[in-house]
């Protein structure tokens, strides 16, 4: 629009010059020279207008090309971001499953270590008892007493005395404690929950007074929790807390009880369980997990009055 105005203005100037030359006293040669100059100026203006129009067209074409390329790049970037998000989600899902399996395996190793400690303690006690019995026999023999004890002391041909507490085991045939417990751990780690459940129940049936009985009860709760039987899982964890007050599974049992209550929709009760874990087991792994769960729920660690 501006260039058109310039062209119109030039034409007007040219017309004015022509009119002035007709009216004024200028010589004919001067008028002709001014007309030629004006024509040249008008021609330059028109050429400039044409060049500007060509430049604008070229610029628009370049801009369209750049915009199109930018849109393509944005689309490719969005696609790449989507693929990355999916990859991250897949990695997180796989990591969660692997961590769950590793956690179960670590628990099994910890249980085995506790079992070994318990067995060593019992073997040591049996050795002490055997030494005391031998010393008693030596004392009786050296003092001229009876050649064999009257009651309560095994003779060399009678075999090894049964350990204390063996009367709790039924006299009928039963699988060994080691077999039941280790099979239960193996089956729960491999996802054979029904079989593991039966094995831990048998363990509690035959060996309810052993050091690992509380562990077997805890794993029954774990199996029920994995099978989404949350009410039954809460009851199983409660048995650990009630029947085995000295068990090292108290912290895990209370934490998992809170998780099961949360899955049942009993949020306030679950929060109380998480806070009790923090109070009773400070600095433990269960303490850390309970704090993380309360943070996830958006509630403070301690109750406000």
Q: Are residues 200 and 83 in the same domain?
A: no
133 within domain boundaries: no
- The DSSP code sequence of the chain is -HHHHHHHHHHHHHHHHHHHHHHS---HHHHHHHHHHHHHHHHHHHHHHHHHHHHHHHHHHHHHHHHHHHHHHHHHHHHHHHHHHHHHHHHHHHHHHHHHHHHHHHHHHHHHHHHHHHHHHHHHHHHHHHHHHHHHHHHHHHTT--SS-SSSS--TTS-PPPPTTGGGS-SS----HHHHHHHHHHHHHTT-HHHHHHHHHHHHHH-TTSTTHHHHHHHHHHHHHHTT-HHHHHHHHHHHHHH-TT-TTHHHHHHHHHHHHHHTT-HHHHHHHHHHHHHHSTTSHHHHHHHHHHHHHT--SS---
Q: Are residues 180 and 77 in the same domain?
A: no
290 within domain boundaries: yes
285 within domain boundaries: yes
As given in the structure block, the two tokens for residue 6 are 């310039």
Percent of the chain with pLDDT over 70: 65
More confident residue, 134 or 202: 202
Q: Are residues 80 and 196 in the same domain?
A: no
Check: pTM over 0.85? Answer yes or no: no
Where a domain ends, among 90, 108, 142?
90
Statement: residue 264 has pLDDT above 70: yes
Q: Are residues 179 and 63 in the same domain?
A: no
Q: Are residues 191 and 303 in the same domain?
A: yes
Where a domain ends, among 90, 123, 150?
90
* Domain that includes residue 213, residue range: 174-305
Q: Are residues 187 and 280 in the same domain?
A: yes
97 within domain boundaries: no
What's the mean pLDDT when you consider all of the chain? 78
| pLDDT class of 66 with cuts at 50, 70, 90 | confident
Statement: residue 161 has pLDDT above 80: no
Where a domain ends, among 44, 68, 90?
90
- 41-48: average pLDDT: 86
How far, CA to CA in Å, does 180 sit from each of 104, 163, 184? Answer: 17, 19, 6
Dihedral angle over CA of 296, 300, 301, 305, nearest 10:
-150
Quick: pLDDT tens for 97-132. 566 667 666 666 767 676 676 667 567 566 656 655
- The count of domains in the chain is 2
Range among 42-51, 108-117, 157-166, 224-233 rated most confident: 224-233
| pLDDT class of 152 with cuts at 50, 70, 90 | very low
- 259-283: average pLDDT: 97
CATH number at residue 216: 1.25.40.10
292 within domain boundaries: yes
204 within domain boundaries: yes
Q: Are residues 178 and 75 in the same domain?
A: no
53 within domain boundaries: yes
Distance between CA atoms of 32 and 40, rounded to whole angstroms? 12
More confident residue, 61 or 108: 61
Statement: residue 9 has pLDDT above 70: no
Q: Are residues 79 and 202 in the same domain?
A: no
110 within domain boundaries: no
Q: Are residues 202 and 86 in the same domain?
A: no
Per-residue confidence (pLDDT) for residue 129, from 0 to 100: 61
Statement: residue 215 has pLDDT above 90: yes
């Amino acid at each position: 629009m501006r260039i058109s105005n310039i062209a119109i203005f030039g034409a007007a100037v040219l017309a004015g010059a022509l009119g002035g030359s007709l009216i004024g006293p200028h010589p004919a040669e001067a008028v002709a020279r001014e007309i030629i100059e004006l024509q040249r100026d008008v021609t330059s203006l028109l050429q400039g207008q044409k060049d500007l129009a060509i430049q604008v067209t070229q610029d628009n074409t370049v801009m369209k090309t750049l915009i199109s390329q930018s849109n393509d790049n944005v689309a490719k970037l969005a696609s790449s971001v989507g693929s990355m998000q999916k990859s991250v989600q897949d990695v997180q899902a796989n990591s969660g499953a692997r961590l769950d399996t590793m956690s179960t395996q670590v628990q099994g190793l910890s249980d085995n270590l506790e079992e070994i400690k318990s067995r060593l303690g019992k073997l040591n006690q049996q050795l002490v008892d055997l030494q005391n019995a031998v010393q008693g026999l030596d004392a009786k023999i050296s003092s001229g007493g009876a050649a064999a004890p009257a009651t309560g002391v095994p003779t060399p041909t009678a075999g090894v005395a049964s350990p204390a507490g063996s009367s709790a085991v039924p006299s009928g045939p039963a699988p060994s404690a080691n077999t039941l417990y280790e099979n239960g751990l193996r089956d729960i780690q491999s996802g054979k929950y029904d079989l593991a459940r039966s094995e831990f129940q048998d363990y509690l049936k035959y060996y309810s007074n052993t050091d690992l009985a509380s562990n077997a009860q805890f794993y029954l709760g774990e199996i029920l929790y994995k099978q989404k039987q949350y009410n039954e899982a809460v009851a199983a964890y409660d048995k650990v807390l009630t029947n085995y007050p000295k068990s090292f599974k108290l912290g895990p049992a209370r934490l998992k009880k809170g998780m099961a209550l949360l899955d049942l929709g009993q949020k306030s009760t679950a929060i109380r369980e998480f806070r009790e874990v923090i109070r009773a087991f400070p600095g433990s792994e269960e303490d850390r997990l309970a704090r993380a769960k309360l943070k996830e729920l958006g509630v403070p660690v301690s109750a406000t009055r």
